[in-house]
Structure 1
């Protein structure tokens, strides 16, 4: 089978790209051929189909004139370049099925029109909340917000949800209206939600008539399931530095514990300076605020930690930070929010705390740090076993391939002679 994977980014950027590349690797391991469609970028990994990639679109780049802004704004809704390049790619490669990740605003749903024209089955994995929120996150300035579902998407403009800008929020709402009027979400044959909570939100939003299923993420095929018994007694956060990730709540808990445990924070993002300011103003000690770290170096930092904290304060999906951690037998303390409780069985394979509650987080951290080595390792090996049982790649891929085959049969096969 030849599978076309579509994602705006073709480099290791976040959880969506971790999934994208892990999926490709697993499908290839099962004997299938994978082809790609993405956006051009100097950070892209080598790819045989890169000549078909759509031109780079950066909505956060340098200042531009009014005409350039208007042209760029129109590209958010529909990319004719992506449409033409997708046609050429399909004629050349003749895929049997397409699997979409992130495409909004850079690639756009113009490629879906092409896939439908050639009767190619389409699966889409929903990595974010854009189906119900033009701001992707269901966050307003005051916290979690479901107003776009309950009161209509014009709420996005009223609350200036997209980067505190009326213009950007208006464009986001217009994009949502364009997709609804064009019934683009109904053109996808099957949606995959990465957690049950997202599936419930997708159904509540009534954004599509297509089928929605839940398939919890898998770990890459090269993932080692191994607990390092030479761990150290430090607490670790790694990931994006943004408000909704709850890092300030972690720092508040660290302050309340009088900085008695070493805390390492790894990553980068918009609030890095704010985090450093909080550390300085509160004279926090025993804390290291590091930049982004990848590869083997990051793996070692995870392995040597005692606790991984995931203090999210938004509807987190199925983060690879948790999957990576439990594959090493690490005890994860996570917020009781979004899809996180689906990954952690409280007090058995990790611990949950009330999102945004530094007092509750402090209690959980103290409990784990005070466990003796024997008790801690007993929990760790239980976590390790659970991770392999629930997130091993082959089980996921076999189920996904069966979904592909079912869709192909329902389409009565792609007629490559017409391509």
Structure 2
């Protein structure tokens, strides 16, 4: 079980009233505090409960399932398996419906709270939603966590941090994007230019009043920094994300780098007929896989520009596109020969492992500061090298020439050259590259490695 030392003995020798709230099946340890008890009482034992962690997120399946939501699930499920009493609060003011329900998602307890409408009023009120503050406070009182671990909460305003401060519960925040720094979360302008976080607020007028409902607050970044002062540590999957926040004025001592992790799973025969067909045909083509959202920031324009070159210079070339996206980009992809470009639409998560394994290269052509894309983890675990743009945290995960290739963001010619370089290698060399991907994933990208590091940060936060 996860070693819990407590804070000043408060939870090491808990109040019996709190112990009466112990959940069914909760693991209990017993100790004999000899130096605190009368010698005649040394045979009495005091129960010690497991650490209790509340994870807060603004999205969770079935509402949305991206890399962040997968990591929230994996974190909670992994902690539960290690004896930590973990649960999830999904709270969001942007999802209509007015739900307040408890549910079990494949062994993970989830409390889902949504509202019937957005909070009206000025942007300051929308920065701090009193309804969310009230419900987070109620959840903290119900769960009585030793620590709160926040993930994406842009749809929940900054109220969860204020609630944790009010009751003096240690809180951590995992950074999945640039939410604290930028109104559009991406440090990326509509014209394709990247932003320098040190130059705020110059150049931000393009996004003010166009993005999040609090984007037009004067000095947004300073207000955000003030309201997250009680965050003990910011957890970042990549060093690049830390560097960007430090450039914006955050203290580097408050950050801990904890790369994501993924749980190895046995290969399963895909149930989707299209996926089964492409898996069967994998040996007939030289296949590139593009997985994720087909939007400009993900570099879809670079792939579209490279397609004529790839079709011309790579024999038996085929591109598989898994995911949804903007109509203009999907329409551009449909203009190509259907034997060259295959649009699969949204592929179920459990089917993707087979698709990765049947692919020669997975491409991540992003043109914004990606953090630590889960696509890279999933692809390497399946033994497929990754062709990624050298931006954000992507270069931290790819060993150029060993487990994949890097190219300049937005450079369609460079992307094409890397694909040609890969297929110019002999078949034994490409097989060795796939083995290195699997070895690297099992050494550096496992869920156990992630949880080990995360629990060290939990310990450190409780001792601070």
CA RMSD of aligned residues (A): 2.9
Counterpart selection for 1:311 from 341, 362, 365: 365
Moved more, 202-211 or 239-248: 202-211
Q: How does 1:234-383 map to 2 (within 5 A)?
A: 234-258=287-311, 260=315, 261-269=317-325, 271=326, 273-281=327-335, 285-383=339-437
CA offset at residue 179 of structure 1? 5.8
- 1:91 aligns with 141
Q: Is 1:192 aligned with 2:235?
A: yes
**SS of equivalent residue, structure 1 residue 262:** strand
Match of 1:53 among 101, 104, 113: 113
**Contact persistence 2:324–2:345 (CA under 8 A):** yes
Give the 3-state SS of the residue equivalent to 2:292 in structure 1: strand
1:35 aligns with 2:87: yes
Q: Is the 8 Å Cα contact of residues 351 and 364 (structure 1) preserved in structure 2?
A: yes
Q: 1:73-112: per-residue Cα shift (whole Å, max 9, x none)?
A: 55530111111111211111110101011112x2122121
TM-score after normalising by structure 2:
0.77
Counterpart of 2:72?
20
Where in structure 2 are there 5+ consecutive unaligned residues? 1-50, 269-278
Q: Tell me if structure 2 keeps the 8 A contact 1:312–1:335.
A: yes
Tell me the distance in 2 between the aligned counterparts of 1:181 and 1:387.
Answer: 36
| Distance of 2:128 and 2:253 partners within structure 1 | 21
Give, in angstroms, the shift of residue 278 of structure 1: 2.1
The secondary structure found in structure 2 opposite 1:240 is coil
2:463 matched to 1:403?
Answer: no
* Distance in 2, Cα, partners of 1:26 & 1:2: 13
SS in structure 2 opposite 1:308? strand
- From the superposition, tell whether residues 3 and 74 of structure 1 become closer, same or farther in structure 2 (CA, over 3 Å): same
Instruction: State the match for 1:140 in structure 2.
Output: 189
Query: Structure 1-normalised TM-score?
Result: 0.84
Alpha carbons of structure 1 residues 30 and 230: separation in structure 2 relative to 1, 3 Å: farther
> How far did residue 211 of structure 1 move?
0.7
| Alignment CA distance shift 1:186-1:394 (3 Å) | same
- What is the CA-CA distance between 1:373 and the residue it aligns to? 2.3
Matches within 5 A, 1:377-396: 377-396=431-450
Select the residue among 125, 132, 151 that pairs with 1:82. 132
| Match 1:9 to one of 55, 59, 66 | 59
CA distance in 2, matches of 1:14, 1:315: 17
CA distance in 2, matches of 1:372, 1:178: 52
CA deviation profile, 1:131-171 (whole Å, cap 9, x unmatched)? 22111111112223325x343325322x2x26xxx454784
CA distance in 1, matches of 2:224, 2:370: 29
Gaps of 5+ in 1: 59-67, 411-419
Q: Cα 1:216–1:49, aligned 2, differ >3 Å: closer, same or farther? A: closer
Range that drifts further, 84-93 or 306-315: 84-93
1:6-44 superposed Cα distances (whole Å, 9 cap, x missing partner): 000121521111111111111111111112211266799
15 and 294 in structure 1: CA distance in 2 versus 1, 3 angstrom threshold: same
Give the C-alpha shift of residue 130 in structure 1: 1.8
- Structure with greater Cα Rg: 2
Aligned equivalents of 2:431, 2:109: Cα separation in 1: 47
- Cα distance, 1:225 vs. partner? 8.9
Alignment partner of 1:172 is 2:215 = yes
Q: Secondary structure at the match of 1:133?
A: coil
Give the secondary-structure state (helix, strand or coil) at the position aligned to 1:18: helix
In 1, Cα distance between equivalents of 2:423 and 2:144: 55
Cα 1:319–1:177 shift into 2, 3 Å: same
Contact kept? 1:266, 1:290, Cα under 8 Å: yes
Residue of structure 1 in register with 2:167 after alignment: 118
Change (3 A) 1:219 1:52: closer
Deviations 1:331-384 (A, max 9, x none): 111001111000001111111111111111111111222333211111110111
* Paired residue secondary structure (2:157): coil
